[in-house]
Structure 1
Amino acid sequence: MASEAAAVEVGVHPRTGHRWVEESGGRVPAGLLSPSGPGLTVDERIQIADLRLARWSVRAIARQLGRDPSTVSRELRRNGTVTGYRPHAAQRKAEARRSRPKPGKIGSCPRLRQEVEAGLELQWSPEQIACRLRRDFPDDPEMQVSHETIYQALYMQGRGELRRELTKALRTGRARRTRHRQPHERQHRFSEPMVMLSDRPAAAEDRALPGHWEGDLIIGTPNTSAIGTLVERSTRFTMLLHLPQRHDAIAVRDAVVATITTLPEQLRGSLTWDQGSEMGLHHQITIRAGIPVYFCDPGSPWQRGTNENTNGLLRQYFPKGTDLSQHNQEQLIEVAARLNGRPRKSLGWDTPAEALAKLLSSTQTDGVAPTP
């Protein structure tokens, strides 16, 4: 059971249950388990003994108890004796097996502990240590351990298997494990529903028509300074948003709307962005600028490949670790002009400005306006 469900089962607050799990290495303190918990009770063991004497099969006993057949089979194998299955003796063996604390594998093997600590001091990850041990000691099971066991020896300090200070050698540097939210617990990032990239018009995919944009932020130091980037997919034409003081949802909304509305309507096909909090007012951008906003999947920057490439080019003018608020609007316009005047191999060595002009002139000549 999850710690929250287990806490509800024993009648305590979920935070208390989560703290018990952390302090006890994943074990609820003795005496707090419900009698109807996952372990077999004395009455169930007596019933197993009686049904075995009646020559019931393991599966029939499991159906009678409402248990999994593997539970009954394991009980008979682990707690039975050569003379048969005795329920009260089985109960005593099960209670003795549950007694804590028990030494873990790392704590009970000084050689293994020495190897693990040496690897951590070299800043190896637990996975690297575990895999290297399997390679260096292929015929010695005592010297092999999983990476999860190493993590537990670091984080569950009640065991005393590894020194607390060794957690600093981990890449995260954390002294305790952080809880990961389960998929069903995730909350929607925005109040208004997002329209995902899979619903974007097919015309945006083949880059045949102009007007489909990709957007993002490049962040400066301190984190309050930023520059917004808008890149047209078919021509790589770039526009920059001035965000000198803040880059929250309101500031980004105003900057995007002010920039997009300077474009002719035929260049407002779509805007694709990642799921950053700065797009919390995406529905207002759609209404005010007349351009639908689509969102990439989480952790999928390649879905905005044109924009990611452009951001890399912009770092030539706006290096990482610099204060971006020192650049005014005129400087941003100048940098965008430099980028739009640079020949591109993907455009047959045309510049983005030339490619955009050609596409606009061809659509006007054909009398066909791009549709979103």
Structure 2
Amino acid sequence: MKSPGAPSLRRDVERLFWREIAKGLTSEEAALAVGASQAAGSRWFRDRGGMPSFMLTPVTGRYLSFPEREEIAVLKAQGAGVREIARRLGRDPSTVSRELRRNAATRGGKLDYRASVAQWKAELLARRPKTAKLVVNERLREYVQERLSGQVRRPDGTPVSGPVAAPWKGRNKPRRQDRRWATAWSPEQISHRLTVDFPDDESMRISHEAIYQALYVQSRGALKRELVACLRTGRALRVPRSRTRQRATGHVTPEVMISERPVEIEDRAVPGHWEGDLIIGTDRSAIGTLVERTTRFTMLLHLPRMQGYGFEPRVKNGPALTGYGAEAMREALTARMATMPDELRRSLTWDRGKELAQHTQLRIDTGIAVYFADPHSPWQRGTNENTNGLLRQYFPKGTDLSRWSAEDIEAVAATLNARPRKTLGWKTPAEAFNEQLTSLQHAGVASTG
């Protein structure tokens, strides 16, 4: 094999690098920990999109290791023959002979065995490049791209263009700027939904990790890198990140605390229990979110600013004109809950925001029991918190949410409700919610009969 140039760092060094990354080190710290340069660590991490594209476990003893190649080089320089080297290594003579012939350096027109060059050549020969499934299967690729980056549509099928987003620059999602609206199924949702949509077509199968690799790893080449902007996180590199923030207030009375909520709500067996919150934008704009705990069905509340906002002076203890004051929230929730059967409006769990200060009147108007989560405990409304995270792909922080009409936010809600969910057996929330409505209708017919 002709030597193509200077050998790069050994594969086992890079393997150790990814083990350090798994411990939580940065790419620069991990590179220094394994004896590589910081630039090499940054390049490894960037080229593979934050994903190790080869096995992290070391190779088996079937293959010569780098220490064995170093010993071969030393013995060869001392004039030892092939059989002597093989005896000292505990290897077959043919293995040593083949190693000296195949992996020796050829610079200068003669064979010169050096351990670093031999290791590098062996790793090059050991590669088994495999064409990505999304490259060869056009039908599968189109399915994945449509579910990942397809258009948001209103319930009648009319496309919604959404905001004009800045072009992707190879970085994470822009902070406090508009993002492109897309169908935005997760790779896991796409992978499992394939078995539902194509139960008898084995060619329409792909793992979610293969989709992530197609997005993040440059060498895969099946999907465009800029499609990472369609993922919920919008990360340019696959780096874990989390954030939670909960603000506590003091207007909640003990009798409506979550500790007083019936136990039956916890197991999600009975439908009709909701979780709610606000997502906040700039200039005191907001959208209300409601999620049904059993089916994960999402409803969004349009909260336009009230007449006089920005012109009339603020009145102490007067009505809030922002659109999500206590009175506006009660009216919006009452109007939306009035469209639900009594069996599907059993309870509502909210955070401790003052926008639901009129919860007593809301209970009188709708018959729905209202409970409030504990301070700094977003996990008590985990379904709603997760949904708000999904919605931030369409309504990022730092943007004006009042510009979107009721029809626009309904289109986003319909998009979320049309995504398959793992917890629902890969049904969509809309399908699960319709099943609940159908069962209630049948139960009503049976009781009147």
Which TM-score band applies after superposition, normalised by the shorter structure? 0.3 to 0.5
Give the structure with the higher percent helix: 1
What TM-score results when the alignment is normalised by the length of structure 2?
0.39
What TM-score results when the alignment is normalised by the length of structure 1?
0.46
